[in-house]
Amino acid sequence: MHKILEKRQLSYDKERDQSVFYYKVDAPEIARNRKAGQFIIFQIDDNYGERIPLTIADANPKEGWIAIVFQTVGATTRRFSMTFNEGDNIPVLVGPLGKPTHIEKKDGLVLCVGGGIGIAPLHPIVQANHAIGNKVVTIIGARTKDLLFFEDEMRAASDELIVVTDDGSYGRKAVVTVPLTEICEKEKVSEIVSIGPAIMMKFCVAAAKPFGVPITTSLNTIMIDGTGMCGCCRVSVGGETKFVCVDGPEFDGYKVDFDNMMQRMTAFKDKEREADHKCRVGLDAGKAGA
Amino acid sequence: MSEHKTTEMLQEEAAKLFAEIEAKKAAGTKLTPKDRTSIPLQEMPSQEPTVRAHNMSEVALGYTETQARLESERCIQCGGAPCKNGCPVGVPIPEFIKHIQEGDFKGAVDTIKQTNLLPAICGRVCPQENQCQKFCTVGKMMKAPEKAVAIGRLERFVADWERSHDQITVPTPAPETGKKVAVIGSGPAGLTVAADIRRAGHSVTVFEAFQKTGGVMVYGIPEFRLPKELVAKEVDNLKKMGVEFKTSFLVGRTQTLEQLLDEGGYDAAFIGTGAGLPKFMHIEGENLIGVFSANEYLTRSNLMKAYDREHSDTPLYDAKRVAVFGGGNVAMDGARTALRLGAEKVYCVYRRTRAEMPARIEEVAHAFEEGVDFHFLENPTKFIGDDKGRLIGVELLTYELGEPDASGRRRPVAIPGTEHVLDIDAAVIALGNDSNPLMAQTTKGLNVTKWGNIIVDENQKTSIPRVWAGGDIVLGAATVILAMGEGRRAAASMNEYLAGK
């Protein structure tokens, strides 16, 4: 059992009726061993709940907690955000899973690019690079101002922070690849780390290519066990089948077959819509009854 | 296909014969071996095939008391007990059967439990035809190994009798020694080790990565073959003995084995993490939507309970035409699960023939009865998808059997130019598992083979001091009973080590 120590809503997307939540969770064993880039899997019910992977957004080994950040995109995340509050226990939480990010001292700068919910998993990587003395420039982007979060946290761990929005409602009006290209033109970039929607990572890879800068991407495929047992999360990397849960979640962006990955992520789309619909109908009925 | 006999019909037949035998015994006549072998092999009552193919309840219903008594009388107590030598854990088979002949079911189950702690499970999933029953003298006398005494069914009967009559006795552990043992993995090997070590008075913690205990018995073997309630009961018995279970704890990541041994205060550890890394075929189209490893397909349905559509949050992939690739127990589980999840057509594609299938005979027979369409001597060359990346078919090549290979089975040889397409919308690949590499990756000095199996000595000791291993992580994908056999050997060696420490 893992107690929720703090719960905050980080953003709300009116257009899609989706929120982003931050939960600080008591998990001393995970906090102690986790490294940047690793993730956890949680369930809100140990019998019938689905297993949801989330990258660890922050952790404090001394105080024994980790932070997770998630978007309410489906039935489970919605129910989680609505029914689990400070003081409640998360029944299933396992981790840290996956291989940690490879962090090493670089000559040039490390350019960290996070889009939307991808800003959360990027945060520990920015912190870890900063901690070993790399020069870190961070770009965070979202469709609109209300969807941005972690601006202060990212600023604190970066040498420079660039904020962009698609609609120009905050920061610069641009997509993340625009400043990415500008920086690669001006400065010596040793590595790019890009985390966000698959399509954004795919474009970041295309933007980085002319400069020949190594680019690491973190993949968020569908998973069940998260320990290498089922192969549900597999992606094609450099023509070989890799498991995101144990071989990743981070891979050389140039080698990832993003098109296949995006297709595979639609495997259960119709089911998710159905479940989400059922879930919301249920909640509305509940409210009406009260 | 022969007519399906209901439990009532089987019971009626058995009762008549059993009454005759009782009368004979009452008259003081001893049963001759010929009397015994003339008793027909008692058929296992089962759900009617067309009904059971659409529900998740157990297929085999278990002998009635009369059937069990009658079947036990088929054992001639031949003396040499060749059956016992065929058992990986050496269950005293003639002795337990004698108890059944005498109507002492509790005595029978206690006799089994001297060497096998999980008879309700083994009675259901052991490949008896290749173990105890293969060596049975009755089968030999009748020159029909399939007519051997039904040892597995009798084992199941007494274990079920004990449970349903609330007669389970939990062993009392020896006085506390103060020693601590970590068991990694709660599958058949881990549970066996936990029981044997706890009995010796050491404290035991079992670490399980999943949210539920039981390993492959929970995520892999379906409910209709092994009810999860039985596995939970066995774990409960271990808890009553004082074994502690930590679920959602992935040793290697949550804590490394070194951390457990050096800082966690564990005096010894057993690795029983199983063979959890699915094999794929590395052919075109394998990453299309709709192509699943058997592990994923079965885990969704079993562990995550996706078959219970009303309650489970884990989705299932809707498929009308499912092909399962492979000829083992897992392939049979996959094919029969597909039927139960609503597929209209289920194929099993296997590159050899029925005779070479490694699955238990009973599972193959059940799959046939339930309507699985077997495509023998065929093997896939590529998967075919539509423009959205969804599976719509598989290209198969026809094979013939050539000379025997190293395993003694005739080698399948492709016949060039025989490519043909089977229309399917889901594929389940059940070609076995490699070893999960996590323990080797995160444990310094742990020696493994090139296939990733942990190397152990004759006492199941690994290359690291204080660490033993057993089950599929050592054997490669094998069976529940072999894993238990390894667990027993490891536990004996660990207990010896802890006693001398």
Is A210 in the same domain as A114?
A: yes
Rounded to 5°, the CA angle B293-B299-B305 comes to 145
Check whether A270 has a pLDDT greater than 80: no
pLDDT of amino acid B314 = 87
Computed from CA positions of residues A153, A157, A163, A166, in that sequence, does the dihedral angle turn out positive or negative?
negative
Name chain B contacts of A39, Cβ cutoff 8 Å: none
Name chain B contacts of A96, Cβ cutoff 8 Å: 253-254
Q: Which amino acid is at B49?
A: P
Is A199 in the same domain as A235?
A: no
List the alpha helices (DSSP H) in B92-150.
93-101, 105-113, 119-125, 137-141
Total of domains in chain A: 3
Residue B276's closest CA among B453, B70, B481? B453
Is A68 in the same domain as A6?
A: yes
Is A195 in the same domain as A248?
A: no
In chain B, the residue whose alpha carbon lies closest to the alpha carbon of A245 is B438
Looking up residue A171, the CATH number of its domain turns out to be: 3.40.50.80
Computed from CA positions of residues B118, B121, B123, B126, in that sequence, does the dihedral angle turn out positive or negative?
negative
Domain end call among A97, A129, A158: A97
Residue B89's closest CA among B495, B483, B473? B483
Q: Which residues pair with A191 in a beta bridge?
A: A110
User: 10 Å Cβ neighbour count for A283?
Assistant: 14
CA A163 to chain centre: 17
Is A209 in the same domain as A223?
A: no
Is A208 in the same domain as A223?
A: no
Is A184 in the same domain as A163?
A: yes
Interchain contact, B292 vs A45, CB within 8 Å: no
In chain B, the residue whose alpha carbon lies closest to the alpha carbon of A257 is B287
In chain B, the residue whose alpha carbon lies closest to the alpha carbon of A30 is B254
How many beta-carbon contacts under 8 Å exist across A and B? Answer: 121
Residue B480's closest CA among B96, B119, B183? B119
Domain end call among A97, A118, A151: A97
pLDDT of amino acid B101 = 96
3-state SS assignment for residue A36: coil
Q: pLDDT tens digit string along B140-182?
A: 999 999 999 999 999 999 999 999 999 998 889 999 999 999 9
pLDDT of amino acid A285 = 38
User: 10 Å Cβ neighbour count for B78?
Assistant: 15
List the alpha helices (DSSP H) in B314-470.
329-340, 361-370, 438-442
| Distance of alpha carbon B396 from alpha carbon A242, whole angstroms | 25
Mean pLDDT, range A130-146, rounded to an integer: 95
Q: pLDDT tens digit string along B259-272?
A: 999 999 999 999 99
Answer yes or no: is A103 within a domain: no
Name chain B contacts of A273, Cβ cutoff 8 Å: none
Q: Measured between alpha carbons, how far is residue B45 from residues B50, B61, B127, B362 in Å? A: 15, 5, 18, 12
Is A243 in the same domain as A263?
A: yes
For the record, the structure tokens of B162 come out as 């004990």
Q: pLDDT tens digit string along A11-28?
A: 998 888 889 999 999 999
Answer yes or no: is A274 within a domain: no
| Distance of alpha carbon B352 from alpha carbon A173, whole angstroms | 63
Interchain contact, A50 vs B277, CB within 8 Å: no
pLDDT of amino acid B86 = 93
Is A50 in the same domain as A79?
A: yes
For the record, the structure tokens of B335 come out as 């094919």
Looking up residue A50, the CATH number of its domain turns out to be: 2.40.30.10
Is A154 in the same domain as A183?
A: yes
ipTM field:
0.90
pLDDT of amino acid A290 = 31
Mean pLDDT, range A181-208, rounded to an integer: 96
Domain extent, residue A264, equals 219-268
Name chain B contacts of A46, Cβ cutoff 8 Å: 211-212
Q: Measured between alpha carbons, how far is residue B467 from residues A271, B178, B181, B267 in Å? A: 45, 18, 10, 9
User: 10 Å Cβ neighbour count for B500?
Assistant: 6
Answer yes or no: is A281 within a domain: no
Name chain B contacts of A272, Cβ cutoff 8 Å: 315
Backbone angles phi, psi at A205, to 5 degrees: -60, -45
Q: What is the dihedral of CA B187, B189, B194, B196, to 10 degrees?
A: 150
Strand order in the sheet with A65-71: A89-90, A2-13, A18-26, A65-71, A52-60, A39-43, A92-97
Of the pLDDT bands very low, low, confident and very high (cuts 50, 70, 90), residue A277 is: low
Q: pLDDT tens digit string along B301-325?
A: 998 988 888 888 888 888 999 999 9
Computed from CA positions of residues A100, A102, A105, A108, in that sequence, does the dihedral angle turn out positive or negative?
negative
Q: Which residues pair with B429 in a beta bridge?
A: B293, B325
Write the DSSP assignment of A170-233 as a string of letters. SSEES-THHHHHHHHHHS-EEEEEEES-HHHHHHHHHHHGGGT--EEEE-----SSSSSSS-TT
Q: Which domains does chain B have, with CATH numbers?
A: 7-164 (1.10.1060.10), 180-276+434-500 (3.50.50.60), 280-431 (3.50.50.60)
Is A48 in the same domain as A68?
A: yes
Answer yes or no: is A283 within a domain: no
Domain end call among A68, A97, A126: A97
- Residues in A lying within 8 Å of B, measured between beta carbons: 29-30, 33, 38, 43, 45-51, 75-76, 91-97, 224-225, 227-232, 234-236, 241, 246, 260, 263-264, 266-268, 271-272, 275
Contact A202, A177 (CB under 8 A): no
| Distance of alpha carbon A145 from alpha carbon A274, whole angstroms | 30
User: 10 Å Cβ neighbour count for B453?
Assistant: 18
Using omega within 30 degrees of 0 as the cis cutoff, is the peptide bond preceding B119 cis? no
Answer yes or no: is A276 within a domain: no
pLDDT of amino acid A289 = 35
Answer yes or no: is A288 within a domain: no
Answer yes or no: is A284 within a domain: no
| Distance of alpha carbon B468 from alpha carbon B475, whole angstroms | 14
Answer yes or no: is A141 within a domain: yes
pLDDT of amino acid A283 = 44
Pick from A43, A229, A275: CB nearest B436? A229
Q: Name the pTM for this structure.
A: 0.92
Q: pLDDT tens digit string along A248-268?
A: 999 999 999 999 999 998 888
Query: Average pLDDT for consecutive 10-residue bins of chain B (501 residues)?
Result: 86 96 91 93 95 94 97 94 93 97 96 91 91 95 94 97 93 94 96 95 97 94 95 94 97 96 96 91 94 95 88 89 97 96 96 93 94 97 96 97 85 95 97 89 94 95 97 88 92 96 75
List of residues 6+ apart from A102 with CB closer than 8 A: A250
Is A165 in the same domain as A190?
A: yes
